[in-house]
Structure 1
Amino acid sequence: MEEVLRELIGIAGRHAHGRRTKTAIPRVTIGRSEVATPPLPELCQPTALFVLQGTKTVLIGDRTLRYGAGSYFIYAVETPATSQLLEASSARPYTAIAFALDVGLIAALIIDHKPAVDGDGFVTNRADDELLDAWRRMLRLLDRPTEIPVLAPMLEREIAFRLLQGPQGAKLRQLAHADGRLSQIRRATAWIRAHYNEPIDVTELAELAHMSNASFHRHFKAATAMSPMQYQKQVRLLQARHLLIAEPGSAMRVAFAVGYESASQFSREYARHFGLPPARDAARLLAKGEAATLEID
């Protein structure tokens, strides 16, 4: 494993440009940092994240993921989270590969796939030799870009298959099936993100997910580690931060724009989540040039 990780780190380092690099391989992104970071709130997309070097924690609701070299986690639902790089330096930069999930590809693979055992949805796992070898062959294509159109789709299929065979494969099966519980919960989370500034009716969300209220609460918490109200609050705060940076101005205006009825409540919750009051946080990000690194889509 160590030899494969060293090669992957070397390839990723040659092709990384900044903290986040979209590569020439579709759905493959490289993350790299030479410095540790404070906690950074973000919205995680359906992705398999592989950490090659360094350590990282991700807080999702009331659960904490801990990454080390050679570990991965599958984000099956768009989820507000707070990540922090704990170990990163110029000598040993934090390095990771993100693989955006293609639900259609996964659904096609499931036809011939033997179901895996469902386990804890909020733990990282060590990548096995077969998965690491598939990733090595995939990243080698960055040094041979003319081969990407032919070989990348085959390797993407193999990586998806290896993930289905692994300990987090159950999440992928649920995501790919239209009537799977993760697919149903994604309908509700999509509605919340699209209507984040509107009041939530949990009964209507449960109906959208084709579940009873009790079943919806249970499965929503299992998928996101938070309640629908907590999910909405984190989405509102992330959107507020982007509005404050894109259109600097009144925090009160932004508070009402994202659905708060009380500007003082907004300021308290914003400061609790981001560490500074709204105006000071936006000014700090703009002054340090970090605004462009914030992503929510």
Structure 2
Amino acid sequence: MDNKQTHATEILGRLLAQVLRFPIASGVLRTAVPFLEVLKESSPTLLSHGVLKPSLCIVLQGRKRLQVGNKIIEYTTGDYLAASVDMPVNGQVVEAAADRPYVALRVELTPGEVADVASEARLDLRPEPGLQPGVFVGKPGAEVLEGFEKLFRLSSDARAAGFLGPAVKREMIYWLLQGEDGTLFYKNMLLHQEASGVGKVIGWIKANFDSPFTIEQLAELGNMSVSNLHHKFKEVTALTPLQYQKRLRLQEARRLLLDGANVTETTLRVGYQSSTQFGREYKRLFGLPPLLDIRTIREGGRPLEREVE
């Protein structure tokens, strides 16, 4: 292990010790830093459906598994997971225990923030053309870990967090772009947003998930052919546009039902015209019919779905 790796390992251990003292038993807790969250689980979790938001997540201890389409991604202690688009995924913590919990820190991160840092710092990043999946795993350098440590220290002071936090985030992005995986990180965060039109299509579906569309309309929006849209969209999200829309609809439906909406109202609000079709597709994704699923969650029989970290 060279000096840089040794230094990174020391920071990782120090940061873990600090986070373990944070008052959270399990789940996700947003800190005083507006874009920083602490994640902790004291035992392996069941498979959870959710949406992975654009972010950077560093694992301090434990291991997690994501399923993105048919692809399985595992990340463990010392890895970071970067997501550049909203990704419907399945996830579960696979390594955690009461005396050695899964612990991670997540920073919300947008492609625009990455682009601003790269431009203002005049970084010479010239990735080869071609799309990458909207989520990937890398190794952070010591400077990035120090950024996480600075942010976590700020979480005890709301005023300092609001004022200094954004500057620390920009510093972290700079070191990510300058690191070993910097070109890949840049390409992952920006290329399909700027050049392919996929980001524009994803944004439209997110904003209009309850509305019908044709593939031809999406292709025109993204300024590409229908065949290119199918290929590029699936390369980034591991789903077709229709599958992506369906995941967003059903996850919003589950949220509405948990908030007390009835099935008929929910069916219409998320864009389904047939309650039979809604019930069939809901069961296919979540494993139970809507009302039974919600009752089981409320009785503690299965985990409450949340944004997947």
**Range class of TM-score, shorter chain:** 0.7 to 0.9
Residues 23 and 30, structure 1, Cα contact 8 Å, conserved in 2: yes
Deviations, residues 232-256 of structure 1 (Å, cap 9, x unaligned): 111111011112111253x354334
Structure 2 CA distance for partners of 1:232 and 1:104, relative to 1, 3 Å: closer
Between stretches 38-47 and 188-197, larger displacement belongs to: 188-197
Task: Provide closer, same or farther for how the CA distance between residues 196 and 234 of structure 1 changes in structure 2, counting only shifts above 3 A.
Answer: same
Q: 1:227 aligns with which of 240, 243, 254?
A: 240
- Normalising by structure 1, what TM-score? 0.87
Return 5+ residue gaps in structure 1 as ranges: none
Matched, 1:168 2:185: yes
State the aligned residue count. 291
Query: Paired residue for 1:34, among 42, 51, 55?
Result: 42
How many angstroms apart in 2 are the aligned matches of 1:138 and 1:252? Answer: 45
Structure 1 position 35, deviation (Å)? 2.2
Q: Distance in 2 between matches of 1:170 and 1:129?
A: 22
3-state SS of 2:39 partner? strand
Report whether the alignment pairs 1:58 with 2:70.
no
Once the two structures are TM-superposed, the CA of residue 16 in structure 1 deviates from its matched residue by 4.7
1:67 paired residue number: 75
- Which of 152, 170, 182 in structure 1 is aligned with 2:165? 152
Deviations 1:1-32 (A, max 9, x none): 33222222222223353411111123111111
User: One-letter code of the match for 2:39?
Assistant: G
Counterpart residue number, 1:110 = 118
Secondary structure of residue in 2 paired with 1:180:
helix
| Structure 1 position 291, deviation (Å) | 8.2
**Aligned AA for 1:172?**
M
Relative distance call for 1:16 and 1:51 in structure 2 (3 A) is farther
1:288 is displaced (CA, Å) by 2.2
Structure 1 residue aligned with 2:254:
241
Q: Matched residues in 1 for 2:164 and 2:301: separation?
A: 38
Matched letter for residue 244 of structure 2: Y
How far off is 1:147 after superposition? Answer: 4.4
> Does the 8 Å CA contact 2:34/2:162 hold for their aligned counterparts?
no
- Mapping of 1:83-122 within 5 angstroms? 83-111=91-119, 112-115=122-125, 117=127, 120-121=132-133, 122=135
CA contact (8 A) 2:46 2:303 kept: no
Report deviation, 1:174.
2.7
Aligned residue identity for 1:128:
G
- In structure 2, stretches of 5+ residues that fail to align are 1-7
- What TM-score, normalized by structure 2, do the two folds share? 0.83
Matches of 1:11 and 1:95 in 2, distance apart? 11
